[in-house]
A and B are shown apart, each in its own frame.
Chain A
Amino acid sequence: MDGCKTNENKMNGYEMNENEWKGYEKINFRNAEELSGLCRSHGLPVSEIMLRRECGLTEVSRKDVLSRMGRAWEIMKESARSPIHTPKKSMGGLIGGEAQLLTRHRDEGKSICGSVISRSITYAMAVLEVNTSMGLIVAAPTAGSSGVVPGVLLALQEEHSISDEKIIQVLFNAGAIGYLAMRNATVAGAVGGCQAEVGVASAMAASAAVELMGGIPSQCLSAASTVLMNMLGLVCDPIGGLVESPCQGRNAAGAANALIAAELSLSGVRQPIPFDEMLEAMYTVGKRLPMELRETARGGCAATPTACSLCGGC
């Protein structure tokens, strides 16, 4: 059985045997260009190529892979919502309660961002609240950048009444972008700065948002590329060496950036630099960042007099 034979139906894969991995050819891609080629030749969205790659290469059934992603989405939603009602103080004491403040502000009709961005940044910050108070989160791609993807997708889900199934599907799109970043660059702040953590998370969210809102694969990759461009050079400088501040605010910035890039792409604004080249550029910039600005807490925000007085470490 070959679920990829026809191009007539974009979602032809759904007719395949849910319980079997067999029948999925062992497709893989090494860069965004190859991913684009696969999307074109199979007539499938980015998410579906990534999902089939997972089934084929890990020999796990579609049903089981989707159910595992479903579990991740449940955790994401809970971590994005729970601090709104029950704010949590972080282990390091630098953050806590931000999601509730933002929600109140929006509920009072005072948001200047509009509903989608307001919700996105609220949820993104909420996840970091949960993370820093030893709650359960999904690293996406890292714990320090775990708010961006759920923030953007949950806001879009609520605004547009989108089903969980659709969100779970586009999480594979986000996964494809993150996979390329892990494979060809880095997602570690210690290696590439915050641009590699929140920057990549934001690129993942932008690409997934584009597919979710009806964009084609080239628009997904274009949005991801725009994010990397717009967040290029962002340093990793956690106060006291803890994943609290400025990390939480940067998750909000990453969520807003993802929506901006998705909006640009969906409206037809042209992105001149292909994703593969922007990823390489991000990696090169990251490696050239001085050690002080790569998670060592010796530069940037972390080296300000106030940060030093809060930390009392070195």
Chain B
Amino acid sequence: MSFISVFDVLGPNMIGPSSSHTAGAAAIALLARKMMNRDLVRVDFTLYGSFARTYRGHGTDRALLGGIMGFSTDDRRIPDSFSIAEERGLVYSFTVNDRETEIHPNTVDIRMEDSEGHVLTVRGESIGGGKVRITRIDQVEVDFSGEYSTLIVVQQDKPGVVAHITRCLSEKNVNIAYMKLYREEKGSTAYSIVESDDLLPDEAIQRIRENRYVRDVMLIQTQKEA
């Protein structure tokens, strides 16, 4: 059983009305934004299940858009996120998908695009109490929560890449809490996902990028809240 903090009971501090439909939605989008880490010009959300049915009454749409603009779950700008997005020139859309039913009830696909045409699509699930997980990056199934500092290495599926990643991290004395490898098929794009209790140092990230099979590195830094 994972640790339950007093702040899991009295928390999260959040914009209402629903921890799963509002706070969780903002949290997923904020993670997606950190993964993309570029100035976005367009974002398209596809909502499934209960998100699709009740998103207006729960402010799920505003929360998602807020998260994409970098607002955390307790940011008072969330109710105004439509107008803020317009001011920033961010184009957005919401699409309901009620055909797919074999899916977690609070699921969203977020397609992000920057001015140079880079596109990243992330799927997230809001699993209750404001807790979330990311379950897909582009077409690859993954699974992480963003509760830890998370390193996502996009790589070609070749021997030695994982060893390279762990070596770069151990050189900088990073203690790995969890590490998982995901891939589409043998030899194609793979994702190494490393979760750590500590902040992940820039030097280690730079070193990881040096490997010729590493295409991209995404980073979600999470510090213990004080």
Contacts and interface: CB of A to CB of B under 8 A. Distances in A.
B9 A182 contact: yes
Interface string A202-240: 001000000000000000000000000000000000001
B13 A138 contact: yes
A174 B7 CA distance: 11
A244 B17 CA distance: 9
Nearest to B59: A134
Contact of B76 (A68, A132, A136, A242): A136
Given A142-B129, A175-B6, A72 B16 contact: no
A241 interface: yes
A136 B15 contact: yes
A139 B19 contact: yes
Interface string A133-161: 11111111111101001000000000000
A89 B188 CA distance: 52
Contacts of A241: 53-54, 57
Given A64-B226, A136-B76, A243-B17, A174 B10 contact: yes
Contacts of A134: 15-17, 22, 59, 62, 78-79
B10 A137 contact: no
B8 interface: yes
Given A58-B224, A91-B59, A139-B19, A69 B6 contact: yes
B1 A135 contact: no
B22 A178 contact: no
Nearest to A182: B4
Interface in B70-105: 74, 76, 78-79
B11 interface: yes
A197 B74 CA distance: 21
B199 interface: no
B116 interface: no
Contacts of A71: 13
B23 interface: yes
Contacts of A60: 224, 226
Contacts of A64: 226
A182 B16 contact: no
B5 A137 contact: no
Nearest to A53: B6
Interface string A81-120: 0000000001110000000000000000000000000000
A123 interface: no
B4 A143 contact: no
A257 interface: no
A57 interface: yes
A67 interface: yes
Contacts of A44: none
Interface residues of B, number: 37
In this complex, the member of B53, B54, B57, B78 whose beta carbon has the largest number of chain A beta carbons within 10 angstroms is B57
A132 B9 contact: no
Nearest to B80: A134
B156 to A, nearest CB: 38
B76 to A, nearest CB: 6
Nearest to A76: B10
B210 interface: no
A279 interface: no
B17 A140 contact: no
A91 B58 contact: yes
Contact of A242 (B3, B12, B58): B58
Given A50-B6, A175-B6, A242-B54, A137 B14 contact: yes
A242 B15 contact: no
Contacts of A50: 6
B10 A131 contact: no
A178 B57 contact: no
B128 interface: yes
B225 interface: yes
A149 B10 contact: yes
A275 interface: no
A183 interface: yes
A142 B15 contact: no
Given A143-B18, A143-B22, 9 more contacts: A58-B3, A68-B226, A72-B11, A136-B13, A140-B10, A182-B9, A241-B54, A242-B17, A242-B58
22 contacts: A54-B5, A57-B3, A68-B7, A72-B11, A75-B74, A91-B56, A132-B17, A135-B15, A136-B16, A138-B10, A139-B23, A141-B10, A142-B129, A143-B18, A178-B9, A179-B4, A179-B6, A182-B4, A241-B53, A243-B17, A243-B58, A313-B53
